[in-house]
């Protein structure tokens, strides 16, 4: 067993160990809008559930040179965002939105995705997604790095409206095989759902 102190590693080395070990990771495909109304979209695999009462989710957005990225800045300014669950049907378009564009250019247009009106937030959603989660910002927490220069912005969003493709929904449950979610591995690698199995929880 290799034993390593993370403090002896560079940021890049820690990143490689983290993204290679904590797998697979679900991908939040997030839309936000700028003050000028430009629709921004970007994927984030530092993403998970926080609470079910109320329904809260977290998306960690790494900073660039100490500055919040477009998604974090837009979400903090507008107080809302939409998370789309990434799936096989549009994962190539999602990947295109990871390109570094200036704030006044839309990744949605670049990838040829289709904006649609949301129900409870002003931020548009994307028609291609099978599951959409409309969120209001519960908290944004700067973390990591130093107090003067945080490494990321942790966005906690409360889901205020769900949109689920009709054929995926049955008696309050979602058909995972039908959703065909994709998840991130290390580097440029992704994973499909693959084989599933069941274990009964101990009482």
What percent of the chain is predicted at pLDDT more than 90? 92
Closest CA to 61 of 80, 45, 78: 45
Q: Helices (DSSP H) in the chain: which residue ranges? A: 11-21, 70-78, 91-96, 107-111, 176-179
Under the banding of pLDDT at 50, 70 and 90, the label for residue 182 is very high
> Where in 109-203 does DSSP place strands (E)?
115-116, 125-126, 131-143, 152-164, 169-170, 173-174, 183-184, 190-191
Q: Please determine, for residue 112, whether its predicted confidence score (pLDDT) is greater than 90.
A: yes
pLDDT 10s digits, 70-109:
999 999 999 999 999 999 999 999 999 998 888 888 999 9
List beta partners, residue 125. 116
Under the banding of pLDDT at 50, 70 and 90, the label for residue 133 is very high
| Structure confidence at residue 58 (pLDDT) | 98
Closest CA to 125 of 35, 26, 49, 33: 33
* Average of per-residue pLDDT values in the chain: 96
| Structure confidence at residue 46 (pLDDT) | 98
| Structure confidence at residue 101 (pLDDT) | 87
Lowest mean pLDDT among 21-25, 58-62, 96-100, 150-154: 96-100
Task: Calculate mean pLDDT across residues 153-159.
Answer: 98
Tell me the C-alpha distance between 162 and 96, whole Å.
25
pLDDT 10s digits, 168-179:
999 999 999 999
Under the banding of pLDDT at 50, 70 and 90, the label for residue 191 is very high
Q: Please determine, for residue 66, whether its predicted confidence score (pLDDT) is greater than 90.
A: no
Q: Please determine, for residue 63, whether its predicted confidence score (pLDDT) is greater than 90.
A: yes
Q: List, as one string, the DSSP characters of 48-93.
A: EEEEETTEEEEEEEE-BTTB--HHHHHHHHHSEEEEEE-BGGGHHH
172 close to 69: Cβ distance less than 8 angstroms: no
| Structure confidence at residue 104 (pLDDT) | 85
64-to-69, 121, 149, 151, 173 alpha-carbon distances in Å: 6, 27, 10, 8, 38
List beta partners, residue 141. 154
């Amino acid at each position: 067993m290799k034993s390593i102190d993370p403090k002896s590693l560079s940021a890049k080395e820690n990143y490689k160990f983290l993204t290679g070990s904590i797998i697979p990771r679900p991908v939040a495909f997030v839309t936000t809008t700028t003050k000028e109304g430009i629709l921004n979209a970007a994927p984030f695999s530092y993403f998970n559930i926080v609470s079910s009462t109320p329904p809260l989710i977290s998306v960690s957005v790494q900073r660039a040179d100490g500055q919040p990225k477009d998604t974090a800045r837009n979400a903090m300014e507008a107080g809302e965002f939409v998370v789309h669950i990434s799936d096989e049907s549009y994962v190539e378009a999602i990947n295109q939105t990871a390109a570094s564009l200036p704030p006044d250019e839309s990744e949605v247009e670049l990838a040829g995705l289709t904006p649609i009106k949301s129900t409870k937030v002003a931020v548009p959603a994307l028609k291609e997604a099978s599951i959409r989660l409309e969120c209001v910002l519960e908290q944004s927490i700067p973390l990591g790095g130093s107090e003067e220069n945080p490494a990321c912005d942790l966005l906690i969003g409360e889901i205020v409206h769900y949109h689920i493709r009709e054929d995926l929904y049955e008696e309050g449950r979602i058909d995972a095989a039908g959703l065909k979610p994709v998840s991130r591995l290390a580097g440029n690698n992704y994973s499909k759902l693959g084989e599933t199995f069941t274990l009964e929880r101990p009482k």
